């Protein structure tokens, strides 16, 4: 696999307004595709904002939102990565999904770590798996926002062969330093490309800084956004990633049989 052009959409999400956000998403995807992007990724809960009233927006996956985005990808010929409220009993789930250019669903990931500090665990059920999918010859995975604080799930993706991980987020401005540090750390320790997609603007209680970023397998930021809406673009080099893993094969020195006894 040579190179992959990725666009992260830094949006100012219209609160509880899926129709407006879907229209904006189509415009952003078209802009990204016109610039040569092969993958267009959106932030966490991109049609609603980080709502603690998920029930009115809950829907199956596949369902209306993925169907709407499937029309976009078939028109533009790009991959889409995004996150929405998935119907589930007894509580909905915060789910990320990837859609192929032919409009079919490649993967769905349910956020394993609901954000208890913000009461997300009272309104959403947590997931229990880390799927890996093929994205144009690249092994890719999904995580969501607060998952970034838990190295275990990223390591599991690495063990399953993931080379590229997307992290849709609604990460607040007051913890922006944590966001930047953890994105780089997850990339470095797993020798993988990590794409963090964060929103900008405000919801009723929180300010968001943007700072979406694409980190290579050495942890270097290939591209990083500021606090304004727009696209964060980079071309990732998979040959370079694979060469780095061979040149500096740190993961082979892991000792899980010892870790289990500590």
Tokens 């144009």 belong to residue? 136
Marked catalytic residue, from 43, 86, 111, 163: 111
User: Can you tell me the mean pLDDT for 85-89?
Assistant: 98
What are the backbone dihedrals phi and psi of residue 258, each rounded to the nearest 5 degrees, phi first? -80, -40
**Of 43, 86, 130, 145, which is the active-site residue?**
145
Residue 190 DSSP class: H
Per the CB < 8 A criterion, the answer to whether 199 and 12 are in contact is yes
CA dist 204 → 18, 50, 52, 166 (Å)? 16, 10, 11, 26
For range 141-163, the mean pLDDT: 98
Mean per-residue pLDDT for 15-21?
Answer: 98
Phi, psi of 115 (to 5 degrees): -80, 90
Task: Name the region of 201 (left: φ>0; alpha: ψ -120 to 50; beta: rest).
Answer: left
Is 145 catalytic? The answer is: yes
DSSP string, 5-29: EEEEEE--PPTT-HHHHHHHHHHHH
* First vs last C-alpha separation in the chain: 39
Active-site position among 44, 86, 120, 163: 44
Active site residue 111: yes
User: What's the pLDDT at 143?
Assistant: 99
What domains appear along the chain, each with residue ranges and CATH number? 3-259 (3.60.110.10)
pLDDT tens digits, one per residue of 174-221: 999 999 999 999 999 999 999 999 999 999 999 999 999 999 999 999
Pairing of strands 164-169, 193-198: parallel
Look up 44 and say whether it is catalytic.
Answer: yes
In the predicted model, what is the mean pLDDT of the chain? Answer: 97
Beta strands in 52-163 (DSSP E): 79-86, 93-99, 105-110, 132-135, 138-142
pLDDT exceeds 90 at position 67: yes
- Name the residue among 213, 158, 209 with its Cα closest to residue 181: 213
Per-residue pLDDT band for 1 (boundaries 50, 70, 90) equals low
Per-residue confidence at 2, pLDDT binned at 50, 70, 90? confident
């Amino acid at each position: 696999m040579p190179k992959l052009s990725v666009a992260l959409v830094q949006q100012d999400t219209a609160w509880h307004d899926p129709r407006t956000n879907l229209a904006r998403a189509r415009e952003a995807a078209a802009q990204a595709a016109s610039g040569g992007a092969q993958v267009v990724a959106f932030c966490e809960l991109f049609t609603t904002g980080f709502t603690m009233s998920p029930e009115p927006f809950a829907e199956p996956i596949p369902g209306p939102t993925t169907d709407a985005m499937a029309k976009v990808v078939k028109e533009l010929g790009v991959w889409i990565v995004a996150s929405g409220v998935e119907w589930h009993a007894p509580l909905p789930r915060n789910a990320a999904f990837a859609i192929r250019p032919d409009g079919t669903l490649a993967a769905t990931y349910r956020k394993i770590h609901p954000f208890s500090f913000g009461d997300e665990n009272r309104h959403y059920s947590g997931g229990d798996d880390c799927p890996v999918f093929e994205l144009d010859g690249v092994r890719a995975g999904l995580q969501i926002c607060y998952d970034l604080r838990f190295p275990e799930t990223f390591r599991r993706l690495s063990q399953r062969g993931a080379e590229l991980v997307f992290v849709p987020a609604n990460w607040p401005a007051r913890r922006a330093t944590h966001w930047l540090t953890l994105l780089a750390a997850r990339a470095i320790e797993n020798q993988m490309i990590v794409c963090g997609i964060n929103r900008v603007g405000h919801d009723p209680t929180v300010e968001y800084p943007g700072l979406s970023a694409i980190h290579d397998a050495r942890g270097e930021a290939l591209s990083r956004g500021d606090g304004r809406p727009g696209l964060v673009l980079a071309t990732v080099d998979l040959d370079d990633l694979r060469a780095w893993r061979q040149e500096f094969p740190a993961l082979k020195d892991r000792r899980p049989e010892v870790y289990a006894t500590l």
